[in-house]
Amino acid sequence: MNELDTLVEAARSAFAAAKTPAELENAKAQFLGKTGSITALMKGMAALSVEQKKSQGAAINLVKQGIEAALAERRQQLADVELDLQLRAEALDVSLPGRKRVPGGLHPVSRTMERIEAIFSSMGFDVADGPEIESDWHSFTSLNNPPNHPARSMQDTFYVDIEGEDGTPYNLRPHTSPMQVRYAHQHIKKHAAAFEAAAADSSGTLKAPEIRVIAPGRTYRVDSDATHSPMFHQCEGLWLGENVSFKDLKVVFTDFCRTFFETDDLVLRFRPSFFPFTEPSAEIDIQFQSGPLADRWLEVAGSGQVHPKVVRNMGLDPERYIGFAFGMGPDRLTMLRYGVNDLRLFFDGDLRFLSQFQ
Ligand code: DAH
């Protein structure tokens, strides 16, 4: 094999060693570039005779064509490899299982809230919403619980370091009871003409609109164990009119409990108690007559006849307006309804627990 023949072989193996297009261009320069072997051979022809130039020129051209063919072949190979890699990177595996969409659902306490709202709505109660960051006046003072009164220690309140719009400090409301006065003010303002007309009617035949409302929502206390959470729920109830009595409270609340728990096999007990905003006051206990909870008295709400001072703070005349209020714990009702014994489970956000209620 002469020098020219070995050159094609050398180029072929140099091209094969190039792993990228850039390396291939470098290898090409060694043979076909300005200082490459072929160029050097061409230059060497200057010293030859015309005859020699003819045959040597033809031979060099053949070699050059061989090297160019090897180069084109290797370029194509590298381009194929690159295309292949790209296709592989972009490949879609259509046999992979899809991402599951887990259907959402209502939290068990939200279900209870909706149930409470539906039942009281059917009895003609309005449903009201109010602020969770509440002024001291609404949370306590308006409810006949003045500053420094010992009854304030019944609730371990979270205080906020900001003054509310009425000049008293804010707190995270420890109960939904401030909604009694808040809602009464809104309601009286909305029906101002009717309230004024009733007040001006000395014969007493013109009745002012009643206030009949429930206010469900989140409440907060410095408290945490199996039956207390720093955030919990309450639902306030208020029915105020010219002739609303404790008897009405008994009827309404008994009806509510029987509908809520879907059984008539349930009795209520009104146990005397104390709350600053009611007089007289009572805890409401229920007792199932059958089933797993039978024969135990279970406390479900606080209640009472709205205190005259609270009625006055609503802007109404306590000689004329009378009624009842109650406050219950939807979390506890949910625990009783579903047989859950640790309140914290509701607020841990564990889907294995929560999805059981769907
Ligand atoms: N606010 C009371 C509490 O959180 C519950 C309560 C008791 C509400 C009696 C009332 C009521 O409206 O009349 O313990």
Largest CA distance in the chain: 143
Q: Is pLDDT above 70 for 272?
A: yes
For residue 327 and ligand 1, the question of a CB distance below 6 A is answered with yes
Judge whether residue 3 has pLDDT over 80: no
- Residue that is written with structure tokens 């006051």 in the block: 281
Whether ligand 1 lies within 6 angstroms of the CB of 326 is answered as: yes
Q: Is 319 helix (H, G, I), strand (E, B) or coil?
A: coil
Region 100-108: mean pLDDT is 89
Question: Which of 10-14, 182-186, 292-296 tops mean pLDDT?
Answer: 182-186
CA distance 243 to 154: 31
The tens digit of pLDDT for each residue in 281-314 reads 999 999 999 999 999 999 999 999 999 999 999 9
121-176 pLDDT, tens digit per residue, is 999 999 999 999 999 999 999 999 998 888 788 788 999 998 888 888 999 999 99
Task: Write down the pTM of the prediction.
Answer: 0.73
Average pLDDT over the chain, rounded to an integer = 93
210-263 pLDDT tens trace: 999 999 999 999 988 888 899 999 999 999 999 999 999 999 999 999 999 999
Q: How far is the CA of 249 from the centre of ligand 1 (A)?
A: 14
CB neighbours of 243 closer than 8 A, spacing ≥ 6?
322
145 lines ligand 1 (CB under 6 A): no
> Exposed, middle or buried by CB within 10 Å (0-12, 13-18, 19+), for 31?
buried
Q: Give the residue extent of every domain in the chain.
A: 2-89, 108-357
- Atom number in ligand 1 closest to CA 302: 7
Contact at 8 Å (CB) between 211 and 306?
no
pLDDT of the residue at 221:
95
Write down the CATH number for the domain with range 108-357. 3.30.930.10
Q: Is the pLDDT of residue 1 over 60?
A: no
Asked whether 307 lines ligand 1 (CB < 6 A), one says no
